Amino acid sequence: MKVLEIMRRIKGFSTPLGGVDWDLPVPQRTVARKVVVYLEDRRVLTMPRVGMIATEARGRCVVSVQEIRETLTQILMEPETGDELAGSPRAMRAACRRFLDLVNPDDAGWARDHIDDATFGAALGGLRAVFGIQVGIVAARYRIDLPEELAALLPASDVDDE
């Protein structure tokens, strides 16, 4: 998805740090690109079907969210991340924690069997919603084109695409 479309989709969103600033330092853009490249291959964010997830697939989702959380923590520890970029990975990391709290993984990291499909699906949908907004902010702020898999997470456009 192209930057202009992303910018159009996230207009009206603000972060705790203020509005979207379009001209930021190059090292932060490099880190932002690293975040996007990492997330584009995370199936927990991009697999098309949220409902009726088998128990073993739920476990893989939980492990993937734990890995995403750890990677975002590593990115936040990089000095090049900077304060302007840090807000989005922090929000994504908080969404990971919220997801993990809702699915209540056992000591081995697997989602407990007693979680019903609706609860798991709602937790996964909430995670994806936060990631969609934050990925959109990062992509627009640092002018990064998004692959279609991640672009599917963005909030719906309020303009008819004809």
Q: Please give the pLDDT value at position 79.
A: 85
Q: Is 15 helix (H, G, I), strand (E, B) or coil?
A: strand
Q: Which residues pair with 40 in a beta bridge?
A: none
Counting the structural domains of the chain, the total is 1
Cα–Cα nearest to 110, from 66, 72, 68, 70: 66
Which positions ≥6 away from 11 have C-beta within 8 Å?
Answer: none
Domain contains 159: no
Domain contains 156: no
Q: Please give the pLDDT value at position 149.
A: 86
Domain contains 158: no
Whether the CB-CB separation of 144 and 33 falls below 8 Å is answered with yes
**Tens digit of each residue's pLDDT (9 = 90 or more) over 106-160:** 655 455 556 777 888 889 999 999 999 999 999 999 999 999 888 888 887 765 5
Count other Cβ atoms within 10 Å, centred on residue 8.
14
Domain contains 96: yes
**Tens digit of each residue's pLDDT (9 = 90 or more) over 64-113:** 999 999 999 999 998 888 888 999 999 999 999 999 988 876 655 455 55
Q: Which domain holds residue 41?
A: 3-13+22-151
The pTM for the full model equals 0.76
